[in-house]
Amino acid sequence: MRIALDAMGGDNAPQATVHGAVWAARDLGFEVQLVGRPDVIQAELGERDVGGLSLPIKPASQVIEMDDHPATAVRARPDSSMAVGVQMLGRGETDAFVTMGNTGAGLAAALLHLGRIPGIKRPAVATLYPTSSDFGFCYVLDIGANTDCRPEYLYQFALMGSYYAELVLGISNPRVAILSNGEEEGKGNKLVVDSLPLLKSGPFNFVGNVEGKDVPAGLADVVVTDGFTGNIFIKTSEGVARLLIDVIKNGIKQYPLARPGALLMKPALQAAAKKLDYREFGGATLLGVDGVVVIGHGRSDAYAVRNAIRRAAQAVEGDVVGAIKRGLKNTETGEES
């Protein structure tokens, strides 16, 4: 297994990326190809024990920053670590590409240098989301690549998400649902209502509408939605978790007896925090491009980088891209496009 890592991407690069790469190489035994400025990467590697690990450097002289305009930056900087890493994947010089950089740039680079899987109309950004189900997670897509969608896109998101849930997450016959403003059939905006017949016809276990509150409750394994709504869904979840933590912290400040209480509760609260920690999720996956591309959170630390590398390897092992290609051949929507 060879994974190309954008050593320059993310708020904490190159420290967190190189550290995460060393961690993954040691724990998981992979070759992690470090893409970026050789001097910078070499300096980081020099501070760590890398004996016996396979961590080759793949030179790229340019960097795409978090606040760069995605499509423009990818075209303007052909020797960026993002572009070089994705091109390695396109040429078969690596099995997957992982970056903590600009999500839009990752998508733009993948579209430019890898292209879509033949038949896929739009790639989606997909992520794990914590739930109170037995498995503890569901898979949500699209969370941001396509702000305005058509029913055929949502159908393909459902197909791709279902394969991913089965092959990478190990959920058999995953329950696929569409995010809506009511669980009853007929509830929804025009896109949801128009998508229903297509979703019902698909070769996956479509279980109907779910509401916003049903997703954390674990009522579906795969949740499809347009990228606008999906983004609101994910960001709102982040914001509410942050608000709750702030409100509890404020309460602790106001009630002196709560402080020793909080200390006693610490292991319980830490277990809760771990469950909701994005660093455990292993980043978002681009589904629908012709290769495994994982984009981690810009704030990722070394642990999150390690987990993103592991997640990418799981997608390679599960052959999600191959499954989508084969699945599209067997569905009408795939043939039409």
Cα separation values, 323 from 139, 167, 226, 302, 318, Å: 17, 9, 23, 31, 8
Q: What is the 3-state secondary structure (H, E, C) of 19-53?
A: HHHHHHHHHHCCEEEEEECHHHHHHHHHCCCCCCC
CB 62 within 8 A of CB 85: no
Binding flag, residue 231, its own copies (CB under 8 A): yes
Residue placing its CB nearer to its own copies in the complex, 91 or 213: 213
Binding flag, residue 236, its own copies (CB under 8 A): yes
- Give me the residues paired with residue 284 across strands: 295
Write each residue from 148 to 187 as x if it is in contact with its own copies (CB under 8 A), else as -, in one continuous string.
x------------------------------xxxx-----
CB 152 within 8 A of CB 329: no
Residue placing its CB nearer to its own copies in the complex, 83 or 224: 224
Please, what is the minimum distance in Å from the beta carbon of residue 24 to its own copies?
27
Token pair, residue 166, equals 């089965």
Q: Which of 46, 172, 267, 336 binds its own copies (CB under 8 A)?
A: 267
Binding flag, residue 258, its own copies (CB under 8 A): yes
Residue placing its CB nearer to its own copies in the complex, 221 or 226: 226
CA pair distance 124, 52, nearest whole angstrom:
37
Binding flag, residue 11, its own copies (CB under 8 A): no
Pairing of strands 124-130, 205-210: unpaired
- What are the two backbone dihedrals, phi and then psi, of residue 329, each rounded to the nearest 5 degrees? -60, -30
Binding flag, residue 255, its own copies (CB under 8 A): yes
> What residues between 121 and 140 interact with its own copies by CB under 8 A?
130-132
Residue placing its CB nearer to its own copies in the complex, 201 or 250: 250
Pick the piece of the chain touching its own copies (CB under 8 A) from 16-24, 163-171, 235-243, 300-308.
Answer: 235-243
DSSP-derived 3-state class of residue 134: coil
Q: Which of 38, 57, 207, 233 binds its own copies (CB under 8 A)?
A: 233
Q: What is the 3-state secondary structure (H, E, C) of 54-90?
A: CCCEEECCECCCCCCCHHHHHHHCCCEHHHHHHHHHH
Which residues form the interface with its own copies (CB under 8 A)?
130-132, 144, 147-148, 179-182, 188-190, 192, 211-217, 226-229, 231-244, 246-248, 250-252, 254-255, 257-258, 260-272, 275-276
